[in-house]
Structure 1
């Protein structure tokens, strides 16, 4: 599709315009294309400069992060002044505090989970103890499956009595 714009000024100074899209958009496009055609490398040069600046900035950030990581691990501390060392120590202490908090949170969650499992096991044991004695008898010795070495039955039902 082509963009067409027609601008006419009459002898009396009146302005007439016609465009299949937008006169302003067509004129802006024309101006942009004229500037680009006069200096075809300007856009690519500008892009190249922008990306070079960004890569330099990112390299500097990476270098700073690596230095900070080494310092947190206790390496490359020779260039730091007392105040910088004190700030680093404070950051490390705060990080250790967050680590301890997270560790305790996980431990408490695990303890709670285990307590729930113990309570469930105790409830199941109570229900088993409430069953009439005629329905089960505790085994005096454990029976094992010879092939897999696993217990076969913990509780064995009484054999049916023939009368």
Structure 2
């Protein structure tokens, strides 16, 4: 008759718990020894009792050596990962430094510096690059100049339209200026042209008739009698002559 299935729970009886611990501990030690012998494996077993007593087994004969080996194996994946990442970063930094030096060397060559080490083929390639860059630069320059000319023409047309609008507005308002002063006749013509235009429009005015003059100052005028233009001025009773002084138009 076989043994029944043992329920896995803490044994409450202290004596039975101690007996079970001793039996199973010895069986565990035996199984670890058998595993190390049969499979040629390095086995280390550490057991602490409930009272803190240490029980250990090491197939290599040195628990310390086995533990050191365990620590190296446990920390090795992390160390390998850090080492691999560091190596990758170093390689990337090296590639970036090489690319930076190459770009600097190319820039110096484009500026016409350090051309001595270049071969004929490299010089021809550099010449083609410069010609292509020069053609693109000139093409872009032409585009910019055309755009600026179009902008100037647009501004010119706009200013012309504004000028026409101002001219139409000035003609419609009927206000003209002559030498910076408004002309009351509204013709915008000088004085002598206005007089000539008025003489042509009015047939009563003669061509040889002098224009009205504005004379400022005192001038003697003799009041002559009708029908006697050569008679000198007459004196009145008080002996005063008929002389008029004043402003004469």
Query: Which TM-score band applies after superposition, normalised by the shorter structure?
Result: 0.5 to 0.7
Unaligned runs of 5+ in 1: 1-34, 142-155
Equivalent residue runs for 1:10-159 within 5 Å: 37-133=75-171, 135=173, 136-137=175-176, 140=179
Unaligned runs of 5+ in 2: 1-72, 185-249
Q: Is 2:176–2:182's contact at 8 Å kept on the other side of the alignment? A: yes
Q: Is 1:134–1:158's contact at 8 Å kept on the other side of the alignment? A: no
Q: Which has the higher contact order (CA 8 A, sep 6+)?
A: 1
Query: Offset at 1:104?
Result: 1.2
Of structures 1 and 2, the larger Rg is shown by 2
Evaluate the alpha carbon distance shift between residue 138 and residue 82 of structure 1 in structure 2; reply closer, same or farther with a 3 A threshold.
Answer: farther
Structure 1 CA distance for aligned equivalents of residues 103 and 157 of structure 2? 49
1:40 is paired with a residue of what secondary structure? helix
**Count of matched residue pairs:** 111
Q: Is 2:177–2:183's contact at 8 Å kept on the other side of the alignment? A: no
Higher helix share: 1
Query: Offset at 1:125?
Result: 0.8
Normalised by the length of structure 2, the TM-score is 0.40
Normalised by the length of structure 1, the TM-score is 0.60
